[in-house]
Structure 1
Amino acid sequence: MHGNQQKNPKHALYLQSASVDQGPSLEVVLAKTPDEVLEAQKLRFNIFSEEYGADLGTSGVDQDVFDAYCDHLLVRNTQTGEVIGTYRILPPEGAAKLRCWYSETEFFMNRIERLRSSTVEVGRSCVHPDHRSGAAIMLLWSGIAQYMKLGGYKHLIGCASVSLRDGGHQAASLFKRLDPHLAEASLQVFPKNRLPIERLRSDVDIEPPPLVKGYLRLGAKVCGEPAWDPDFNTADFMMLLSIDRMSPRYARHFGFI
């Protein structure tokens, strides 16, 4: 947990969702202790290793150097205390200390360098498979919205991942489907480890993953071709969401405006 957490007003963030259809009551908060961050890292490990086949070792924890500079959103079941969803957020001051965004390990991002001081980067999103009906995802997005409003941030970047367990055909097909949402040239990034989409099928019937759908509903743009992440066995699509270009309907719905 970096020192900024103790003095930044956005750390008052707290949202609660009443139980729906007799489901559990959920809340979203920012992690305040190392133990709470560890809960998020354990959830990430379980989901990424089981669903994506990521090779994360045997520690039972997904962690990297970026975690210490990020804020960690937690969705918690208030009845059991279990963390069932998480999203990590790298604010501009954290990226400045690191001298990079996490996404720069995968993409050349020179064209959006000018946005750095007003941009938060989100990543490591995951929700327990028993809680993907919508409430947890809505709370995560609402938490991000409140975080951005309290911090005065204007842009959000993040990667949406698609498993490559099928050899990459679904990812290539999704990229073709996302063509209408491609960002203008001045906002595009370029993968360092490019997925060879021209060698893959692009006619697979694929429904965009929930995270991609969420981005698109808000008005986000796809910043170019996906990067191939061999460690997580995924194709990663860079997404850019600018508050002044958001869909007003969904901006109000999630609390961005």
Structure 2
Amino acid sequence: MPSLRKGRYRARLAEDAADLAAAQALRARVFRGAADGAAAQDDRDPYDADCAHMLVEDQRSGTIVCCFRLLHLRSGADIGRSYSAQFYELSALQDFDGPMVEMGRFCIHPDWKDADIVRVAWGAMTAYVDAFGVEMLFGCASFHGTEARDYYDAFALLRDRHLAPARWLPRVKAPSVFQFARRLTRKPDLKAAQAKMPPLLRTYLLMGGWVSDHAVIDDDLGTLHVFTGLEIRSVPPARARLLRAVAG
């Protein structure tokens, strides 16, 4: 897959060990609070070897400003190989019969706030989906911190508008979860909910994505996360055109 250049940014797949190390270093900084330039070993795991790694870099300085990894599965029959399967009971998705990609470890450099970074990242993801005939994207979308009360409005909005279809709904597997679809009775404050929604999850939802009915409390990374799925055929045509315009 060729690199994607838009404005000052370029998205490309990692080509060698140095590229992977750069992605791991950014992940360590974002997810584990490592100092800039510190060793990346704190965010290496066995899944890295099976994934393609997408990098978004600033063309002027060469700084890696965003990265994520992609695990390609032939169909839902391989869902047990995914990172997400550690935390969610995903047997319902075993019947999905098309190619799937798990997008994981999505992160943006904390010193960079440009909205074009997310736009370019999703353009690269769109190019990948089209190149490999992917029919579903999925992964874990993370909220910073492990206090569910900080995100009650966001979780209430997910409960009301964005729960997975019953046929794909992930079940509880992790030992520590917040079952927001059962426990919350409040109506969401829409402004507060949107303000607390992570950018990656917000983009999934705008494209027609859905989530699990519970959040996993991940003490290792210090996050709450929800399983997130997106069937490519469900992406609204207007948004698909916008993404392909970036991808092109």
What TM-score does the superposition give when structure 2 sets the normalisation length? 0.85
Q: Which residue of 2 aligns with 1:160?
A: 141
Q: Which residue of 2 aligns with 1:175?
A: 155
Structure-2 separation of matches of 1:110 and 1:220? 19
1:107 to 88, 93, 105: 88
Q: Contact 1:163–1:171 at 8 Å: present in 2 too? A: no
Q: Contact 1:92–1:116 at 8 Å: present in 2 too? A: no
Question: Residues 217-232 of structure 1: matches in 2 within 5 Å?
Answer: 217-232=206-221
Output one character per residue of 1:150-202: Cα deviation in whole Å (capped at 9) or x when no partner: 1111110011101225x221234322111211122111102322225477896
Structure-1 separation of matches of 2:11 and 2:65? 10
2:30 to 47, 59, 69: 47
Q: Contact 1:87–1:122 at 8 Å: present in 2 too? A: yes
Structure-2 separation of matches of 1:159 and 1:252? 25
Q: Does residue 1:146 correspond to 2:135, yes or no?
A: no
Q: Contact 1:95–1:101 at 8 Å: present in 2 too? A: no
Q: Contact 2:57–2:65 at 8 Å: present in 1 too? A: yes
Amino acid at match of 1:91: H
The structural deviation recorded for 1:59 is 4.3
Question: Residues 81-160 of structure 1: matches in 2 within 5 Å?
Answer: 81-92=62-73, 100-115=81-96, 117-160=98-141
Amino acid at match of 1:230: D
Q: Contact 1:168–1:200 at 8 Å: present in 2 too? A: no
Q: Which residue of 1 aligns with 2:12?
A: 29
Amino acid at match of 2:63: E
Q: Contact 1:142–1:254 at 8 Å: present in 2 too? A: yes
Q: Contact 2:76–2:96 at 8 Å: present in 1 too? A: no
The structural deviation recorded for 1:115 is 2.1
Of residues 36-45 and 238-247 in structure 1, the stretch that sits farther from structure 2 once superposed is 238-247
Percentage of identical aligned residues: 27
Structure-2 separation of matches of 1:45 and 1:30? 19
The structural deviation recorded for 1:16 is 0.6
Q: Which residue of 1 aligns with 2:234?
A: 245
Counterpart secondary structure, 2:30: helix
| 1:222 to 1:98, Cα distance in 2 relative to 1, 3 A | closer
1:190 to 149, 171, 183: 171
Q: Contact 2:77–2:95 at 8 Å: present in 1 too? A: no
Amino acid at match of 1:183: A
What value does the CA root-mean-square deviation take over the aligned residues?
2.7
Q: Contact 2:179–2:213 at 8 Å: present in 1 too? A: no
The structural deviation recorded for 1:117 is 4.8
Structure-2 separation of matches of 1:201 and 1:80? 49
Q: Contact 2:179–2:215 at 8 Å: present in 1 too? A: no
What TM-score does the superposition give when structure 1 sets the normalisation length? 0.82
The structural deviation recorded for 1:129 is 2.2
Q: Contact 1:164–1:171 at 8 Å: present in 2 too? A: no
1:60 to 40, 59, 75: 40
Structure-2 separation of matches of 1:191 and 1:173? 21
Structure-2 separation of matches of 1:157 and 1:232? 19
